[in-house]
Amino acid sequence: MVKNSKNKKVVVALSGGVDSSVTAALLKKEGFSVSGVFMRFWENPSEGGAKNLCCSEGAEEAARAVAKKLNIPFQAVDFKREFKEAVVDYFLSEEEKGRTPNPCVVCNKKIKFGLMFEKAMKMGADYVASGHYAVIKGGKILKAKDETKDQTYFLYNLNQEKLARIILPMGGYLKSKVYELAKKWKLPYRAGESFDLCFAPCGRETFVKKYLKMKPGDILESGTGKKLGQHQGLALYTIGQRKSLPLAQGPWWVIEKDQKRNILYVSRKEDDLLQTDLNASNVNWISGQAPDFPLEVLAKIRYKSEPSLATISQERGINVKFKKPQRAITPGQSLVFYTKEGELLGGGVIEAY
């Protein structure tokens, strides 16, 4: 991981889960001077607090227990206000605009490798570590050994300055091996996995209904303009959605959201979701420099999608053209770029084409 690690100070973001727990244990065994920090995020009191692994009260207790087991210093830092402003408010603002945001990307940029990173540096740390499944090597971000757990998608906003001081041990392990090590070392981690929208344990739809004013509008058939029914608020739907549509004689798929006219467009033809072109904004290049264009890459339009061959050009922004049509390209989601060898080059936010 790091040469001459003995007595180098590293602050580990302890979440209470198995990945960060094993990260701390591995670094201590490597000879680092390890400290654990737990981040307290915004909770929704009306729903009994966030029940997600990374946010709940039980998670803090587990993180504290792991630190005690490893005999390392531990503290909890309160980022509740900052998390709400940077992540939750951003999520709601984007939803209100008819977009589908990616709050995990923003959390990694502004909280975990933003505020947390700054906190660690003030503590005199040489490095910051977390349980992310990704590999940092020579100023590059590479896909994790366990590709089923790979989290490089969420890290495209990192820069060279931070990469030089971040350690991600999990990138070199299979998840099964991580559990094996946790059992071997008897780490008192909290079982379970974190999931999307940690601040909305009740689910996205319920959360959006609670915090945004829903305005009903027409549902029209794409292409014909035929009125099919009424939606209960555009924020409740996302491009490519098939389930929970208030329509008969389906299946129907959400094709487009017209925010200005408050219209939801749907189609019976799933192929209407296929597109080859998109524009991207707020693009970050890991190297710190934009490449020469045009550039051929493997690109992902969402976390769970497969990378697909695409060509990037620069013409009034970043334009991406896929070799094969992509299903449900969604404004607000993150688009990330890889080399064929699995190096993360960068990424940005999808805009309407």
Active site residues: 107, 198
How do beta strands 217-221 and 263-267 pair? parallel
Tokens of 246: 């208030």
158-159-160-161 Cα dihedral, nearest 10 degrees:
-100
Q: Backbone phi, then psi, for 271, in 5-degree steps?
A: -65, -15
**Measured on CA atoms in the order 92, 130, 146, 154, is the torsion positive or negative?**
positive
Rounded Cα distance, 92 and 88, in Å: 6
